[in-house]
Amino acid sequence: MTAALDIDRVSHSFGSVAALTDVSLHVPRGGFTALLGVNGAGKTTLFSLITRLYDNTSGTIRVAGHDLRRAPRQALARLGIVFQSRALDADLSVRQNLAYHAALHGIGRAEARVRIAEVLDQAGLTDKGGDRVSALSGGQTRRAEIARALIHRPDILLLDEATVGLDVKSRAEVLALTRRLIAEQGVSALWATHIMDEIQPDDDLVILHQGQILRRGRASNIAGRQGLTQAFLSLTGTPA
């Protein structure tokens, strides 16, 4: 079975500054992979390459088996993306935002209505569909962003620091929603974060630092006896 996301030897630079060097990672279908790195590690650059906001000129990126350079439309159609910054239109209602994003994937109005009800239910926002996004709390907005990312039934969700700026309760809700989607819907997720608490021992973990992958494997194996925080600090050479 093809992987949900396969990245092989991808590099990227901004002028003479290397942002990513020889990055390879693999997200299996129905799997949760955490991408851990401090701010500036290259997580957002990697997401920009996967979503084709930046052009990938070295290495290959495959989404559900589709090469991003050779078949960008098929690849993008299988990606659901939650950006770090707000991407919903605050002046429109949640339902209007979802209808817009359904249209951006060529989903007709009748079908979109069915899917909107479906994703609102999944995100626990059924009663908020008519509310303007500006009236939602931070946690509800992030869940609405996830609903938006699900509207076209993607194979994989990319979540770029999806819990940034949220309180503890909202963070837990967003993370729980993502894990539930994986368990119930079989969708895969690449979860970029710099918060150790969000990673569970059984998760696939990739540690990205200064544009390079330092370690990948099961989180509990990487953490070892010293714990994940200490292991991360040791690997990245960051003083505790």
Which residues bind to other proteins, rule: CB under 8 A? 14, 17, 19, 44-45, 48, 51-55, 57, 71-74, 76-77, 79, 81, 83-89, 91-92, 96, 99-109, 148
Taking CA 202 as the corner, what is the angle to CA 199 and CA 203, rounded to the nearest 5 degrees?
Answer: 50
For residue 53, give the DSSP letter.
S
The contacts of residue 187 (CB under 8 Å, 6+ apart) are 30, 80, 150, 154, 155, 156, 157, 181
Contact 60, 67 (CB under 8 A): yes
Nearer to other proteins, 53 or 183 (CB): 53
Cα separation, 41 vs 39, in Å, equals 6
Nearer to other proteins, 107 or 125 (CB): 107
Q: Which residues of 8-37 are buried (b: 16+ CB within 10 A; e: fewer)?
A: eebbbeeeeeebbbebebbbeebbbbbbbb
Nearer to other proteins, 62 or 232 (CB): 62
Nearer to other proteins, 18 or 196 (CB): 18
- Residue 222 beta carbon to other proteins: minimum distance, rounded to whole angstroms: 29
Cα Rg of the chain (Å, integer): 18
- Residue 228 beta carbon to other proteins: minimum distance, rounded to whole angstroms: 28
- Residue 76 beta carbon to other proteins: minimum distance, rounded to whole angstroms: 4
- Residue 209 beta carbon to other proteins: minimum distance, rounded to whole angstroms: 18
Nearer to other proteins, 51 or 188 (CB): 51
Nearer to other proteins, 103 or 176 (CB): 103
- Residue 64 tokens read as 């559900």
Name the residue among 4, 113, 1, 108 with its Cα closest to residue 64.
4
> What are the φ and ψ backbone dihedral angles of 214, each rounded to 5 degrees?
-90, -40
- Residue 53 beta carbon to other proteins: minimum distance, rounded to whole angstroms: 4
- Residue 94 beta carbon to other proteins: minimum distance, rounded to whole angstroms: 13
